[in-house]
Amino acid sequence: MSPRGAPGLLDPAAQSERTLLAWTRTALAVTAVAAFLLRITADQQQAPLVATAVVLLLAGALLYAGGHRRYRRLLRDVPAGRAVTDRRLLALATAVALLGGIASAVSIAL
């Protein structure tokens, strides 16, 4: 029996809810890395890493807010038949990954 033939067994919004949870986990991970960077650089006074940690904290908040914004748009636009893409959120996630790599390279070099 196909999933469409089994009404009530599948939640059509579950996919968007899982995506929201994934963006929330990503934001939490970025915030945790930022907190870790702040913790290890607090006594060493390494300005580049402290600045990176502050930027990562801001990025974590933006990822969290962006994920929730995307979820609300999905709930509004998908039933109306409109596609939902958020290139800014994906660009932010890419920038966070690059910034994390650069911060790692800087911390190894110091």
Q: What is the pLDDT of residues 67-109, one digit of tens each?
A: 999 888 888 887 777 777 778 888 888 888 888 788 777 777 7
76/79 Cα distance (integer angstroms)? 7
- Please count the CA atoms within 13 angstroms of the CA of 21 that sit on its side-chain side: 6
CA torsion, points 13, 15, 18, 19, in degrees to nearest 10?
A: -110
Domain boundaries, the chain: 14-109
The pTM of this model reads 0.74
* 48 CB-near residues (< 8 Å, 6+ apart): 103, 106
Sorting pLDDT into bands at 50, 70 and 90, what band is 39? confident
